[in-house]
Amino acid sequence: MHNFLFGIFPYIALGVCIMGTIARYERDPFTWKSSSSQLLRRKQLVIGSILFHVGVLVIFLGHFVGLLTPIWVFDAIGISHGFKQTLAVVAGGIAGVLGLIGGAILFHRRWTDPRIRRNSSVGDITILLMLLAQLVLGLGTVFVSIEHLDGHEMVKFMSWAQGIFIFDGAAASYISNVAMVFKLHIFLGLLIIIVFPFTRLVHIVSGFAAPFRYLFTRPGYQIVRSRRSKSLNDT
């Protein structure tokens, strides 16, 4: 089961994410949006959104750089594993708390306001709960990481993540003996990747891709469909 969850399942998650995102764009590109509820109620939205997005963005960039940068690069520039681990604990812990507070504010707002709740889909609430759970698990890993400030545990996750991208068949074995909270954190992260194309999270891609699409692939016209049953010439 371990080999499937951490050696095969990551490829399933990435495949569903990529193909699902492309399919959604091809089928209905106008759903690539976050459907903001600001017009329904602005209170709590600004502070909650800022805290949540800043926290999640810092965590995402930290994971991306920290896990996928080859180990020899850090060695070459003189960054020790211990320093990298300490930085991850401090910066990740602060960002995790900010994201959790912001996410809790957004969830409270969405759940307790009748109008916003009526305009929220099951997917909106589910993905927010998943992200909150992921932040809680992430903060849980901080307490375990404090006991391994030599950076040895982090090297295991770097080897696993990089092993997945280079199709290393032994990648799952690199994290076979890590704490359960790390495994839950990774598994939930893979689930979030799977549901990504089918939720409002897809607006992340549109945010990064919009400038390039506008510059290089935008059409020179826009199709507008009239709601009128008869044309003006028939009246």
The predicted pLDDT at position 228 comes to 55
- Distance separating alpha carbons of residues 172 and 39, to the nearest angstrom: 46
Q: How many residues does the chain have?
A: 235
- Cα separation, 118 vs 110, in Å, equals 9
Which domains are present in the chain? 2-30+39-207 (1.20.950.20)
pLDDT in tens, 48-107: 889 999 999 999 999 999 999 999 999 999 999 999 999 999 999 999 999 999 999 999
What confidence score (pLDDT) does residue 16 get? 96
Other beta carbons less than 10 A from residue 208's beta carbon: 9
The whole-model pTM stands at 0.83
The predicted pLDDT at position 110 comes to: 86
Q: Which region holds residue 10: left if phi is over 0, alpha if psi is between -120 and 50, else beta?
A: alpha
Low-confidence ranges of the chain (pLDDT < 70): 29-43, 206-235
User: For residue 12, which of 153, 136, 190 has the smallest C-alpha distance?
Assistant: 190
Long-range contact pairs involving 210-214 (C-beta distance under 8 Å, separation at least 24): none
